[in-house]
Structure 1
Amino acid sequence: MMANKGVVYKEPGVVGVEEIGYPDLVLRDGPGVNPLNVGRKCEHGVIVKVVTTNICGSDQHMVRGRTTAPSGLVLGHEITGEVIETGRDVEFIKKGDLVSVPFNIACGRCRNCKQQDTHICENVNPDRPGSAYGYVDMGGWVGGQSEYVMVPYADFQLLKFPDKDQAMDKILDLTMLSDIFPTGYHGAVSAGVKTGSTVYVAGAGPVGLAAAHSAQLLGASVVIVGDLIEERLEQARSFGCETVNLREHANLEEQIEQILGVPEVDCAIDAVGFEASGHGQNAEEAPATVLNSIMDITRAGGRLGIPGLYVTGDPGAKDKDAQEGALKIRFGLGFAKAHTFVTGQTPVMKYHRDLMQAILNGKAQIAKAVNATVISLEEAPAGYKEFDGGVAKKFVIDPHGSLK
């Protein structure tokens, strides 16, 4: 049996690289695995040798202790790799294929999957619709920040790259197809971005930068990115975004007006989520800040795309309501302005093929936009710490030293 190492959540603020066991086509018992999923046979699945796997802000929520993730959970839901074993029921995916793995796990058979709502598949998580690799309360599918990982429902889910050599030349862009590029793009599409739109993106982390780049691809005339960290804002400016520093200048409307001449935008994207901070020099965590601020600055009749993660349980929150996912949102303002809110995880498969073509044909430079930075598997714990400090990088883990 081959060995397999992976990145494991140990306790708040601590991850480690450990032996995790080589995968097979059965979902075995382990940390975070739903008892109703234990022993689930996956002859429709494949074993993937991981070429790249990325650290995500959603992972950081768990590592900070802001969820009920158990110790020992193998992390990682952004996976790109080579198929090295196929199950008995896999017909079209072949050994040797280089593939992108959507972070949503989806069966392809249920009502939601048939409607392209693969983010809320009904058959992969016994607790609720929707699942992902290496994530708390998502059914217990083993994470892919590892050397090898099992991927179920391979024929339905996997996006095969048409030419392996071409794909490896563009791998730092293509690795973003498993999550953040489709997630940023979904945020922009959900916000109604079109030719000529003025767009505000809250948050200059990797998803916010992906949303900003996506808004540009969709034809936005001006994309404004707001954040509290100047290094991240500098990264947004590097590919043509306007920026607002909400640590130095707390009044968002005034800053929008200085850029556009009016204190509002056509549409807005929340790429921050439930660990949002207030604005200003001494601001503290205030989880409804972004949602309320984007209602303030979005025109009447506008749309709000919300790819930022919100949770039903946040044990690290400062007040009891927020611990249960209840936030003080000015919903009446959104009602009065006839806003449209689009929430939920991204249905990756709705977008990933088109975005792959944009990458392969030179129309999208997502790796440059998010400052993709390659590290080894052993460097992952240090990468988590650096990312948690707000560095303007998207860490790409190269478990086998496959990248040039």
Structure 2
Amino acid sequence: MPGNKAVAYQGPGRVEVVDTDYPEFELKEGPGVPPANVGRKIGHGAIVKPVATNICGSDQHMVRGRTTAPPGLVLGHEITGEVVEVGPDVEVIKVGDLVSVPFNIACGRCRNCKVGDTHICERVNPEQPGGAYGYVDMGGWPGGQAEYVLVPYADWNLLRFPDKDQAMEKILDLAMLADIFPTGYHGCVSAGVTTGSTVYIAGAGPVGLAAACSARLLGAAVVIVGDLNKDRLAQAHTFGCETINVADGDPGEQIEHLIGAPVVDCGVDAVGFEAKGHGPAAEEAPATVLNTLMRVTRAGGRLGIPGLYVTGDPGATDEAAKEGSLSIRLGLGWAKAHAFVTGQCPVMRYHRQLMMAILNDRVRIADAVNPIVLPLDQAVRGYEEFDHGAAHKYVLDPHGMIPRTTRAF
């Protein structure tokens, strides 16, 4: 049996590549595993060898110490890989299949899964609805920034790529299907983006860039991306977005300068709870993005909020924010009859369609998010550079399987 190496959170500001156990078809006791999940048999699962496993901004929240994640938690919920073993109850997925793994873990059997709400599955996490790999309070399922990872309910969760050779040629695009492409797309769909829309996307990190790419795919007339990071704004500009630097002042005034009106049709929050204010000396102000979106979105408009908000933030700026209580101008949203869609993206609602768009050259999501490929043993470098605002999506390649012709370094 092979060994296994994985990226583990070791406390605020620290990640390490560690030796860990090769997966078995049973959920073992470990960091963050609820007692009711210990010993759970996974005959319906598969063991996947990651070809590409990405570093996510949500991982960074944990690594910064901004959640209640326990030390020792193996990270990684953006997984694309090859199936190397299947459990005795797996009927459809086969050894050798190249697959995308939705970051949501879902059973396919509960009430929520049956209506497509796979982001709030009722059976994979005994402590609250919803499960994910390598994430705080999400059921204790080990993450996939590793050489091998266990995927439960394999027939339901895994999206098999129809042509393995074609998929490997487009592997950096397909690697975005596990999370950020569907998440950005969900933010835009939730905000009502359609042909001719004007859209403001707060945040030019990978999810914001994926949302901007999605808005263009959906037919938006104008896509405006706002951020404090000049390099990330420059990246958004490379594929046709308008950009505003919120360090320069009020987004509404800048939006009016761009489109001749101070409001847009649709707003997307791709920042979340570590938001900063506006202006050159902006400090953390976690409700800033939500309040700004209400102000700059037209009356009757919709807000998609894929940006992460948490109920436990030890590093918050005040006691209320530590419990996820923010000073949101709900009265403004009510007065403007805004609709809000929050929560994790239900990846399975979109990933097959987005896969087809990639395979048939309708979209080049990798170009939009500017990936850099690193071996697993350089994961710490990826976390550090990403945390310092690099305008890249960091993709880990644990087995050296990503073709050099597709790589960006």
State the partner residue of 1:57. 57
2:407 alignment counterpart: none
> Separation in 2 of the partners of 1:253 and 1:75?
38
Q: Which amino acid aligns with 2:54?
A: N
1-structure distance, mates of 2:194, 2:136: 35
Post-superposition Cα deviations, 1:292-347, rounded to whole Å, max 9, x if no partner, equal: 00000000000000000000110110100000000000000000000000000000
Number of aligned pairs? 403
How far 1:183 sits from its partner (Å)?
0.1
Q: Which amino acid aligns with 1:296?
A: R
CA distance in 1, matches of 2:187, 2:122: 23
Deviations 1:121-172 (A, max 9, x none): 0000011100100001111000000000000000011000000000000000
The aligned runs of 1:190-339 (5 Å cut-off) are 190-247=190-247, 249-339=248-338
Cα deviations by residue, 1:48-105 (Å, 9 ceiling, x for unpaired) = 0110000000000000000111110000000010001010000000000000000000
TM-score, scaled relative to structure 2: 0.98
Code of the aligned partner of 1:15: V
* 1:221-275 deviation line (CA, Å, top 9, x unaligned): 000000001000000000000000011x111111000100010100000000000
Tell me what 1:401 maps to.
Answer: 400
Matched, 1:78 2:85: no
Letter in structure 1 aligned against 2:199: V
Distance in 2 (CA, whole Å) between partners of 1:350 and 1:388 is 30
Partner residue, 1:135:
135
The SS at the match of 1:281 is: coil
Q: Structure 2 CA distance, aligned partners of 1:347 and 1:318?
A: 30
Measure the CA separation in 2 of the matches of 1:229 and 1:272: 12
1:145 lines up with 2:148 in the alignment = no
The residue aligned with 1:120 is: 120
Quote the Cα distance in structure 2 between the aligned partners of 1:99 and 1:284. 41
Shift of 1:372: 1.1
Q: What residue in structure 2 maps to residue 356 of structure 1?
A: 355
Q: What does residue 48 of structure 1 align with?
A: 48
CA distance in structure 1 between the aligned counterparts of 2:164 and 2:365, rounded to whole angstroms: 19
Whole-Å separation in 1 of the counterparts to 2:49 and 2:312: 34
> Residue type of the partner of 2:239?
F
Which one-letter code corresponds to 2:292 in the other structure? S
CA distance in 1, matches of 2:156, 2:74: 24
**Is 2:163 the partner of 1:163?**
yes
Measured in 2, the distance between the counterparts of 1:115 and 1:207 equals 25
Q: Please give the alpha-carbon distance, in whole angstroms, between the structure 1 residues aligned to 2:330 and 2:317.
A: 22
Q: Distance in 1 between matches of 2:310 and 2:71?
A: 19
Deviation at 1:11, TM superposition (A): 1.2
The one-letter amino acid of 1:97's match is D
Aligned partner of residue 381 in structure 1, secondary structure: helix
Q: Amino acid of the residue matched to residue 288 of structure 1?
A: A
> In structure 1, the residue corresponding to 2:298 is in which secondary structure?
strand
2:26 is the alignment partner of 1:26: yes
RMSD of aligned Cα (Å): 0.4
Cα deviation, 1:189-225, whole Å, max 9, x if unaligned, reads 0000000000000000000000000000000000000
SS of aligned partner of 2:199: strand
Structure-2 residue corresponding to 1:184: 184
Q: CA deviation at 1:117?
A: 0.2
SS in 2 for 1:81: strand
Q: 1:362-401, aligned counterparts within 5 Å?
A: 362-401=361-400
Give the drift of 1:362. Answer: 0.2
CA distance in 2, matches of 1:50, 1:361: 24
Structure 1 counterpart of 2:50, one-letter code: V
Match of 1:253, SS state, is: helix
Please list every run of 5 or more consecutive structure 2 residues that lacks an aligned counterpart in the other structure.
404-409
Separation (CA, whole Å) in 2 of partners of 1:315 and 1:18? 26
Q: How far apart are the structure 2 equivalents of 1:282 and 1:100?
A: 41
TM-superposed CA distance for 1:2, in Å, is 1.1
How many Å apart are 1:20 and its aligned residue?
A: 1.1
TM value normalised by structure 1: 0.99
Cα distance, 1:283 vs. partner? 1.3
% identical equivalent positions? 72
Q: Distance in 2 between matches of 1:327 and 1:83?
A: 43
Cα distance in 1 for residues equivalent to 2:51 and 2:271 = 28
Measured in 2, the distance between the counterparts of 1:137 and 1:250 equals 37
Q: Matched residues in 2 for 1:344 and 1:318: separation? A: 22
Whole-angstrom distance in 2 between the partners of 1:316 and 1:25: 36
Q: Distance in 2 between matches of 1:282 and 1:153?
A: 48
- Larger deviation, residues 218-227 vs 29-38: 29-38
Distance 1:340 1:92 in 2: 39
